[in-house]
């Protein structure tokens, strides 16, 4: 499929969370229909898409149905089973490609991939038992971040070691779940930034300005534009994103998280082969949001403008924060976005808002 998908045709989306919801809304605005595969009924995306297939992501009958009704299939989270993406790809284009999932699902594979294409990461060593942890910590002068290789998100499955003696880690491996781990060297970064970038099937590339991100309790709290980094650091972030997209033969939007160092250099932390929380600001401060950009790319449409017309700060509404919604609605410079989740559990992303300051005088 290289032609433009005609309006009225159906895009399949695997995953029905808020990102799937925002993708479905962007698709609708461009005239497309969407079918979402998600095991949880009445999920955020189900409320705005044309149809939900309520089944597990790896259910063969559901995947066959999704392939049958979709002109292209995309996804909203990186833990889509690779086997499911490959099964779909036999009968319908899957964008981004399954290879992007493979790389993003395992931190060891991801960092090896990034280093292989010339992109710096923290130093890293695989850890598969307590003895290897002691050796790896010794190699990194007693400091490091121990992470599960797979299924980690929002800082879950992580443990930080600082200036530790390299003895006495008995039980740590088991306490981390007895699953394959990776120890990363502790990066003394100045700030965290991320870039949302897109690649079209013909290789066209577009990138948004880097956002400066602040995390709280391991969850993204704010994304601020512009980031306080020099122009050459922003350019380097774009160049790294382009290198990653080209190496993967990628189609769609990707999120790349970096640590920005005091000397202006960047260290890549992780890639998210999907639209990303740190790109929500694009909805309020760009003509074409990350969601529309992703739909454009997977539907074979030309990529849109990434020009930013406002400075802005996006803030997540986590759990009970959603109670701030009425007050936020009263603020003239705020764009509010709620996800349609009934229950405000602690740590649950319920919505976000973006406070915008236009960067040009109104005419």
Q: Which stretch binds ligand AMP (CB under 6 A): 79-87, 180-188, 236-244, 319-327?
A: 180-188
CA neighbor of 74 nearest in space, from 28, 110, 36, 17 = 36
Helix axes 107-116, 98-105, angle to 10 degrees: 110
Residue spans of alpha helices (H) in the chain: 18-29, 60-69, 82-89, 98-105, 107-116, 130-139, 172-175, 231-248, 282-285, 290-298, 325-329
Pick from 76, 110, 184, 315: which binds ligand AMP (CB under 6 A)? 184
| Gyration radius (Cα) of the chain, Å | 20
Residues 243-282 as x/- pattern, contact with ligand AMP by CB under 6 A = --------------x-----------xx------------
Q: Is 125 in the site for ligand AMP (CB under 6 A)?
A: no
Q: Is 219 in the site for ligand AMP (CB under 6 A)?
A: no
Pick from 78, 106, 192, 283: which binds ligand AMP (CB under 6 A)? 192
In DSSP terms, 259 is beta-bridged to 192, 267
Of 168 and 218, nearer to ligand AMP (C-beta) is: 218
Q: Is 108 in the site for ligand AMP (CB under 6 A)?
A: no
- Cα–Cα separations (whole angstroms), residue 255 to 37, 55, 203, 235, 272: 22, 27, 17, 15, 5
Q: Which stretch binds ligand AMP (CB under 6 A): 16-24, 183-191, 343-351, 355-363?
A: 183-191
Of 269 and 282, nearer to ligand AMP (C-beta) is: 269
Site for ligand AMP in 140-159 (CB under 6 A): 145, 152, 155
CB 155, min distance to ligand AMP, A: 4
Q: Which stretch binds ligand AMP (CB under 6 A): 129-137, 186-194, 201-209, 297-305?
A: 186-194
* Cis amide linkage into residue 96, ω under 30° from 0: yes
76-113 burial, b for 16+ CB within 10 Å, e for fewer?
bbbebbeebbebbeeebbbbbbbbbbbbbbbbbebbeb
* DSSP code for 17: S
Dist. CA 223–CA 255, nearest whole Å: 13
Pick from 29, 215, 216, 221: which binds ligand AMP (CB under 6 A)? 215
CB 359, min distance to ligand AMP, A: 27
CB 189, min distance to ligand AMP, A: 6
# binding residues, ligand AMP (CB under 6 A) = 13
Q: Is 212 in the site for ligand AMP (CB under 6 A)?
A: no
- Residue ranges in contact with ligand AMP by CB under 6 A: 122, 145, 152, 155, 184, 186-187, 192, 215, 218, 257, 269-270
């Amino acid at each position: 499929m290289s032609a433009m998908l005609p309006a009225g045709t159906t895009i399949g989306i695997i995953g029905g969370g808020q990102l799937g919801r925002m993708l479905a809304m962007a698709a609708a605005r461009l005239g497309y229909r969407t079918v979402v595969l998600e095991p949880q009924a009445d999920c955020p995306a189900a409320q705005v898409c044309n149809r939900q297939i309520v089944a597990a992501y790896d259910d063969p009958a559901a995947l066959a149905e999704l392939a049958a009704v979709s002109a292209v299939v995309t996804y909203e989270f990186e833990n889509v089973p690779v086997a499911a993406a490959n099964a779909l790809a036999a009968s319908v284009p899957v964008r981004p490609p399954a290879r992007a999932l493979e790389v993003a699902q395992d931190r060891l594979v991801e960092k090896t991939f990034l280093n292989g294409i010339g992109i710096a990461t923290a130093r890293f060593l695989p850890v598969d038992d307590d003895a290897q942890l002691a050796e790896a910590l010794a190699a990194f002068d007693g400091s490091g971040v121990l992470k599960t290789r797979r299924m980690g998100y929002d800082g879950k499955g992580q443990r930080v070691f600082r200036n530790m003696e390299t003895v006495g880690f008995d039980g740590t491996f088991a306490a981390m779940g007895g699953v394959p781990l990776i120890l990363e060297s502790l990066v003394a970064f100045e700030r965290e930034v991320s870039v949302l970038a897109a690649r079209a099937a013909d290789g066209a590339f577009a990138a948004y300005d880097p956002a400066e991100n602040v995390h709280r309790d391991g969850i993204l709290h704010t994304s601020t534009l512009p980031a306080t980094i020099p122009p050459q650091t922003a350019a380097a972030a774009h160049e790294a994103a382009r290198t990653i997209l080209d190496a993967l033969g990628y189609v769609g939007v990707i999120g790349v998280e970096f640590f920005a160092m005091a000397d202006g250099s960047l260290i890549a932390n992780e890639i998210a082969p999907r639209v990303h929380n740190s790109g929500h600001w694009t909805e309020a401060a760009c003509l074409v949001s990350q969601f529309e950009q992703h739909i454009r790319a997977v539907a074979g449409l030309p990529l849109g403008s990434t020009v930013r017309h406002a400075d802005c700060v996006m803030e997540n509404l986590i759990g009970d924060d959603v109670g701030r919604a009425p007050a936020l609605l009263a603020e003239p410079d705020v764009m509010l976005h709620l996800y349609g989740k009934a229950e405000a559990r602690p740590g649950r992303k319920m919505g976000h808002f973006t406070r915008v300051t236009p960067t040009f005088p109104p005419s």
